[in-house]
Chains A and B, each alone.
Chain A
């Protein structure tokens, strides 16, 4: 069985350290950023297409122009908007990626 070279072993160890450091520092930020983006998109949809889920926002004229771009997301967004978070899913109980 061929033994792994120093370079290989060093590479694997470095990768492990890199991932460890990312998990320790960057992961939470990245996850948080994704969550924020998701929420911002949801808010944007509420503000422009709110009437699709019964929020009386007068549809602005540009909502028609945006429609083709948001069509694929409407179903997911609608589901997201109706799903109630149970208490263990609330922000204060969130383990943030742990």
Chain B
């Protein structure tokens, strides 16, 4: 079968076919322009009249740099763009909160298990988990999604491996919480059986776990619903970013997260360059052409847009508008 060399379903057509699409994720290898394209997508959605939040889940945020204003403090309205807010998710506060929560839960449990030994150092060590940052980011993202204050959410994610971990977390968390719930219920039954007085007790842990499971279930439902969620992969016409997203698309299928398609960024436009082109540029264009062939072959039917390399860097609302025009042509 011959691969197509033209876009069969453009970004605009894809959105037309998925009118309920609400959660947009943009991911890819580092430096391919995820933030710029996330910004352009958010700008376009806001222009369509949708209350839109552009949020960064990348621990190394760059939205403030993109928009030329500080958006790290909270949901910040973007001047000159109605319906658009931007926010760099701050995990520090969440990490502190979850550390406190864990500490309280362990203390409660030790009391519950009639352990009177003071073990603050041990308890403290339970709150020093390297995975905290990741889970705090996930919790924050889920909180935003479940709060449902916007009509569209565009997430600028961390480079793909992290994003995959982040989104896959709903599955990992669900499995984990299910296991914990089972153990907790067993423990309760056993405790009652072993008890002489058969006194009934409240179990805040069980309630917490049930709540946690419900939240994860809801998050998972949203994240795996192809009518509501789409993950777009950004690539350059270069070997490494192509190889990376080829691998990652498979992983996303495993987690059941809908893949919206592939956007090729920073493609040099022959017409824009004109004549009298230096050899350096010609060679580079030849390289891009070769890689474009691979892209058409590999992602046949899934290429949603080709965004050109502009003569300026994409920063600020005006450049984002120009990018959005190319993305939603």
Q: Please tell me if the beta carbons of B115 and A56 are within 8 angstroms of each other in the complex.
A: no
B105 within 8 A of A: yes
Contact with B along A34-56 (1 / 0, CB 8 A): 00100110111011101111111
Q: Is the interface of B mostly helix, strand, loop or mixed?
A: helix
Identify the closest chain B residue to A87 (Cβ): B197
**Known contacts A54-B205, A54-B209, A60-B129, A83 near B197 by CB under 8 Å:** no
A82 within 8 A of B: yes
Identify the closest chain A residue to B123 (Cβ): A47
Q: Please tell me if the beta carbons of A40 and B195 are within 8 angstroms of each other in the complex.
A: no
A66 vs B64: C-alpha distance when bound (angstroms): 43
Chain B residues whose CB sits within 8 angstroms of the CB of A79 once the complex forms: 190, 194
B109 within 8 A of A: yes
Q: Please tell me if the beta carbons of A81 and B187 are within 8 angstroms of each other in the complex.
A: yes
**Known contacts A50-B106, A83-B191, A84-B191, A57 near B126 by CB under 8 Å:** yes
CB contact between A43 and one of B105, B122, B188, B197 (< 8 Å): that residue: B122
A54 vs B212: C-alpha distance when bound (angstroms): 12
Which of chain B's residues 102-124 have a Cβ closer than 8 Å to chain A? 102, 105-106, 109-110, 113-117, 119, 122-123
CB contact between B105 and one of A48, A55, A90 (< 8 Å): that residue: A55
Chain A residues whose CB sits within 8 angstroms of the CB of B131 once the complex forms: 58, 61
A91 vs B111: C-alpha distance when bound (angstroms): 13
B280 within 8 A of A: no
A8 within 8 A of B: no
CB contact between A47 and one of B113, B125, B130, B191 (< 8 Å): that residue: B125
Q: How many A-B residue pairs have CB under 8 A?
A: 101
A27 vs B197: C-alpha distance when bound (angstroms): 32
**Which of A43, A54, A57, A83: most chain B CB closer than 10 A?**
A54
CB distance from A26 to the nearest CB of B (A): 21
B310 within 8 A of A: no
A41 vs B191: C-alpha distance when bound (angstroms): 20
Identify the closest chain B residue to A78 (Cβ): B187
Could you list 13 further interchain pairs (A-B, Cβ under 8 angstroms) beyond the known A40-B119, A56-B180, A78-B187? A39-B115, A40-B117, A42-B113, A42-B115, A43-B110, A50-B109, A51-B183, A52-B183, A56-B209, A58-B135, A82-B187, A83-B191, A86-B196
The list of the 6 closest CB pairs from A to B, nearest first, reads A54-B184, A39-B117, A43-B119, A82-B191, A47-B126, A85-B114
What are 27 A-B contacts defined by CB distance under 8 Å? A39-B116, A40-B119, A42-B113, A43-B119, A46-B113, A47-B106, A47-B119, A47-B122, A47-B123, A47-B125, A48-B126, A50-B106, A54-B205, A54-B209, A55-B105, A55-B205, A57-B102, A57-B106, A58-B132, A61-B130, A81-B187, A82-B187, A83-B191, A84-B191, A84-B194, A85-B114, A86-B197
Q: List residues of chain B with CB under 8 Å of any chain A CB.
A: 102, 105-106, 109-110, 113-117, 119, 122-123, 125-126, 128-132, 135, 176-177, 179-181, 183-185, 187-188, 190-191, 194-197, 199, 205-206, 208-209, 212
